[in-house]
Amino acid sequence: MKQNLFCILFFVTINVLFAQQLKCCNTIEDVKEILAGKWKQVNTESNQIYNYEFEGKYYGNLETYEAPTDENIVEIIVSCEPRVTVLKTEKGFQLEYTYMLGTSVSNMKYLSKTKMILIEEGNVEVEYKKLKH
């Protein structure tokens, strides 16, 4: 009996630790609404800004900018725009990026109006903060 109880508690704990934390979102439209806008990676010296735009019903675009360091310099796009699709699977929400030569998928671990955590290729956890402008 104690062994069964231990196993149940162990699996519940593991499930809670790795579960997706998207209390704000129940639908793909909810995710797209919060995701739309400019995001910057936390804990990095990079000046890159990621701008998600969703105009279509099923997909959107991602532009990557190098943030200006001088007020007189305009933002510069530093990469081609992948098409972004928000997917809802049994694992939770995912972002699928489609480039000219292939695709990549990031799992959403956490999403709020100000913070996003993605599990990217190589099982790397990356945190982003939403910019107000």
CATH number at residue 79: 2.40.128
| Residue numbers of the domain that contains 98 | 2-130
- Asked if residues 35 and 111 have their Cβ atoms less than 8 Å apart, the reply is yes
Q: What is the mean pLDDT of the chain?
A: 81
**Band of residue 119 on the pLDDT scale cut at 50, 70, 90:** very high
- Please identify which residue in the block is written with the tokens 């049994």: 90
Poorest-confidence range of 69-78, 88-97, 98-107? 69-78
**Residue 33, pLDDT score:** 94
The total of structural domains in the chain comes to: 1
**Residue 65, pLDDT score:** 85
- Please identify which residue in the block is written with the tokens 């910057």: 40
**Residue 4, pLDDT score:** 41
Record the pTM.
0.76
Maximum Cα–Cα distance for the chain, whole Å?
70
**Average pLDDT rounded to a whole number, residues 19-46:** 85
In the DSSP assignment, the letter for residue 74 is: P
